[in-house]
């Protein structure tokens, strides 16, 4: 029986019309950007008007293989804490993206934390907003969607990351790991930029322990710390030795509002 994860963010975070969406994506994804094979990326998930240019640069900069694992934070609080989307496909305005059944099975076999679930995904935008970029640039792509909730030092993160690396190695072909996360929320422009610079330093060193320490130290309101930590650890298991910041920006660049600001960063791990 087909279980399709229906769109909930179309028309709000990105255009619901296929023609308008393609037009928007073409503006956000730069042409002639050198592409490289990477293990993982960090990509923002705000409305395309705010962070779409960074997302477009991230996806334009990588070779997108036929499969991706998209890791998203759980903003709703519903569903399993370590939720693997139990869907046959994910709907987008550009058509459905099938679930990679083999990779999904391997992840469930190798992790004692991941659970099949649909509830965590039903209203979650942070995974959905990544899918049009992937579908547009790689029409034949398949994905596995994970929605993660937990603490900064959650014992599940290293286990899920190791399971992911083992599953990808056993699969025997490249898989792009996408960590969907915005950075600081709700602070002034100055505090947002200071806090984000502070946590970007360990990310660029692929040091998840120091990242967790710095998030706790300054109580940084980074929504996708779980996906980012998992992606960092998994990428290192798969051979990543460096990370590159492609671009950093804030919502103030669009709104001009400096009292309530969200930070966005695009990072490659290779």
- C-alpha angle with apex 189: 56 to 9, nearest 5 degrees? 40
Domain annotation covers residue 27: no
Domain annotation covers residue 74: yes
The CATH number that applies at residue 67 is: 3.40.830.10
pLDDT digit string, tens, across residues 152-165: 999 999 999 999 99
Residue indicated by tokens 């293989």:
65
Looking at the predicted structure, is the pLDDT value of residue 1 above 90? no
Contact 270, 242 (CB under 8 A): yes
Which of left, alpha, beta for 124 (phi over 0: left; psi -120 to 50: alpha)?
Answer: beta
Domain annotation covers residue 197: no
pLDDT digit string, tens, across residues 59-103: 999 999 999 999 999 999 999 999 999 999 999 999 999 999 999
Domain annotation covers residue 207: no
- How far apart CA 228 and CA 69 sit, in angstroms, is 12
Domain annotation covers residue 112: yes
Domain annotation covers residue 32: no
pLDDT digit string, tens, across residues 11-20: 999 999 999 9
Could you list the residue range(s) of the whole structural domain that residue 153 is in?
50-176+224-254+261-269
Residues in the chain, how many? Answer: 270
- Give pLDDT, residue 38: 98
- Give pLDDT, residue 204: 98
pTM of the prediction? 0.98
- How far apart CA 83 and CA 6 sit, in angstroms, is 17
Number of domains in the chain: 1
HSE, side-chain direction, 13 A CA sphere, residue 131: 31
What is the phi/psi pair of residue 171, to 5°? -60, -35
Binned at pLDDT 50, 70 and 90, residue 268 comes out as very high
């Amino acid at each position: 029986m087909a279980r399709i994860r229906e769109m909930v963010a179309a028309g709000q975070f990105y255009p619901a019309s296929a023609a308008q969406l393609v037009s928007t994506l073409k503006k956000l994804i730069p042409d002639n950007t050198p592409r490289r094979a990477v293990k993982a990326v960090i990509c923002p998930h705000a409305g395309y008007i705010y962070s779409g240019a960074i997302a477009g640069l991230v996806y334009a900069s990588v070779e997108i293989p036929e499969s991706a694992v998209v890791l998203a934070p759980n903003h709703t609080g519903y569903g399993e804490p370590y939720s693997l989307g139990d869907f046959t496909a994910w709907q987008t305005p550009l058509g459905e993206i099938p679930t990679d059944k083999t990779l999904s099975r391997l992840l469930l076999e190798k992790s004692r934390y991941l659970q099949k679930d649909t509830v965590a995904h039903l209203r979650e935008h942070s995974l959905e907003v990544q899918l049009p970029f992937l579908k547009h640039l790689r029409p034949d792509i398949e994905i596995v969607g994970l929605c993660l909730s937990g603490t900064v030092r959650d014992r599940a993160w290293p286990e899920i990351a190791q399971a992911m690396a083992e599953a990808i190695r056993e699969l025997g072909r490249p898989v792009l790991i996408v960590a969907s996360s915005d950075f600081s929320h709700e602070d002034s422009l100055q505090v947002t930029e200071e806090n984000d610079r502070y946590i970007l330093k360990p990310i660029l060193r692929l040091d998840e322990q120091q990242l967790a320490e710095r998030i706790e130290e300054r109580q940084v309101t980074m929504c996708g710390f779980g996906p980012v930590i998992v992606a960092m650890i998994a990428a290192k298991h798969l051979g990543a030795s460096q990370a590159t910041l492609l671009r950093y920006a804030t919502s103030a660049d669009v709104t001009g509002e400096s009292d309530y600001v969200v930070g966005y960063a695009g990072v490659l791990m290779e």
